[in-house]
Structure 1
């Protein structure tokens, strides 16, 4: 079944212009639901129709971002397997994402999965969920903050480790000057990646902050930087769609820079296969969404806590290159990588 998140109460919504529209947004963010009965259907105290368990997945991802489509697909397929009613909502603004968590608490859901791209903004609502007896797990962003924030489990990639691995790979490719493009300022995961690259890469590393919600502006910013710095020979982006834009930017700038990226989708698989993009670092977003929902279900039905509550469950990094891209292509075509 499809079910919208509840509209936040007016008294709970901050007065910023962005959050003034949150009530309307909540009505439009529909849930994807699940299959026929399973152990979850008989769980004690489930609040959904017919006693079904209800979980909510709340991320900082853009609605039309293919990466977050993979996260959501994994979560929805886990929900279908487990017989869970799953609602999905997202907002890149930390305060707005926090309000979505509060809305889920008011709706008395049975579990919440959340990203911690802006950890400080999420501390209070996560604490409120715990006070309400609602388990909260983390995924994708916030590997350095999930335990201190009080989350039950975490599923994702250690972004600092991934960044350092990319720095080492750039050295192996003979790169001399890298440009690391961050498309969302203040996102701890993206910052950690580029900091990791800079830590191990022995060449020069520049950072470029762009607006990831405006692809034309992002492409223009990279083009300008490449024209200004013709010695840049590698652009590292933090998303598959940004890598493809960087390829276009390099062409427009007449630059010799190659492109590599964190994250993967089916369009990028083709770009790696034909050599337009050197490599991608796959953190397996489908798996993150799947494990987050399945982890909540296992905790509710069997008391399980992955990693013992002390260690994250790592989903990456894995390098996808021209040499091994064929192994990934069939999964990407199916929409799960």
Structure 2
């Protein structure tokens, strides 16, 4: 594993620069649902638990109802918290203003560190400034690769969404696709926009963007179905999250379409669908790793003064392709909720 800082590059292999990454072997806590309320991880002792003063860390994401992707992020964060003697407080809201209020709540609680997603960075700027002014270190994960430094975050853990989109566009070319629809399940999310824009940049065929209400899966299904019926030239449906890809499978069937499906992100059901061939491939960003490294980085900073990337470069956790050739090997980790 490469542990040296790298400039933001166009490489597809994941890069992990955090010195404590070997601690991923530590057992994780069970993950739970997201929702808007804050919940704390278990306080019980864990094998290999750090003999350092207890910390309180807030993990605040833009998770929407029913989006199981964030259960994987949270599971990684809980594993790091259990190892590091951290009380983890998780909260989430897909509404940017409400997410900012959750950050303010964490500041008011005088937490020792905050890990945050920046799906809508403009709405987070003011409250992140308040956190740093209060002396609370803030790191980013998952969303915000283009904005974390400008907002004053200390570190970032995720993938370059533009590069990931460009990689998918090139993959569509190799698959012989001619017309693709990119399904956006959350309008205004900069990371999702970057994925579609990156795909358009490298894909030689035609691309359309289809907006759906990601919090209403029956509506997602009907909207994709209607689009496929209306435009029979679409031969690839590209979704930006695993649950939406699985729903798109139903839409393709309902529409009587021959379109194939590709997606960003994984869960255990999706790896099975790839193995069966109902979904062609996925772009994986390793959400467990994002949650783990974000929380662990705050422990490392407080106790050792360590931080990755020199404050200038992100720690990249993806992208990497999962297809029929490697889906079975990934599936055993997806079943555990770590991929």
Using structure 2 for the length normalisation, give the TM-score. Answer: 0.88
Q: Distance in 2 between matches of 1:42 and 1:315?
A: 27
SS in 2 for 1:55: strand
Alignment pair present for 1:129 and 2:131: yes
Q: Give the aligned partner of residue 179 of structure 1.
A: 181
Q: Is the 8 A contact 1:58 1:88 kept in 2?
A: yes
Q: Distance in 2 between matches of 1:177 and 1:309?
A: 40
C-alpha distance after superposition, 1:163-202 (max 9, x if no partner):
0000000000000000000000000000000000000000
The higher-RCO structure (CA 8 Å, 6+ apart) is 2
List alignment gaps of at least 5 residues for structure 2.
1-28, 30-34
Question: 1:29 Cα deviation (Å)?
Answer: 2.5
C-alpha distance after superposition, 1:134-183 (max 9, x if no partner):
00000000100000000000000110000000000000000000000000
Q: Distance in 2 between matches of 1:180 and 1:237?
A: 6
Question: 1:65 Cα deviation (Å)?
Answer: 1.9
Q: Is the 8 A contact 1:239 1:264 kept in 2?
A: yes
Q: Is the 8 A contact 1:34 1:77 kept in 2?
A: no
Q: Distance in 2 between matches of 1:318 and 1:39?
A: 31
Q: Distance in 2 between matches of 1:156 and 1:115?
A: 10
Q: Distance in 2 between matches of 1:63 and 1:231?
A: 33
Which residue of the other structure, out of 310, 313, 319, is the alignment partner of 2:312? 310
Q: Give the aligned partner of residue 46 of structure 1.
A: none
Q: Give the aligned partner of residue 244 of structure 1.
A: 246
Alignment pair present for 1:32 and 2:41: yes
RMSD, aligned α-carbons: 1.5
List alignment gaps of at least 5 residues for structure 1.
3-24, 44-51
1:49-64 correspondence runs (5 A): 52-64=54-66
Q: Is the 8 A contact 1:227 1:253 kept in 2?
A: yes
Q: Give the aligned partner of residue 232 of structure 2.
A: 230
SS in 1 for 2:251: helix
Q: Give the aligned partner of residue 290 of structure 2.
A: 288
Q: Distance in 2 between matches of 1:132 and 1:303?
A: 18
Question: 1:243 Cα deviation (Å)?
Answer: 0.2
1:154-173 correspondence runs (5 A): 154-173=156-175
C-alpha distance after superposition, 1:293-327 (max 9, x if no partner):
00011001000111111000000001000011111
Q: Distance in 2 between matches of 1:150 and 1:136?
A: 8
How many residue pairs align between the two structures?
305
Q: Distance in 2 between matches of 1:67 and 1:94?
A: 18
Q: Give the aligned partner of residue 14 of structure 1.
A: none
SS in 2 for 1:33: coil
Change (3 A) 1:41 1:123: farther
Using structure 1 for the length normalisation, give the TM-score. Answer: 0.88
Q: Is the 8 A contact 1:40 1:53 kept in 2?
A: no
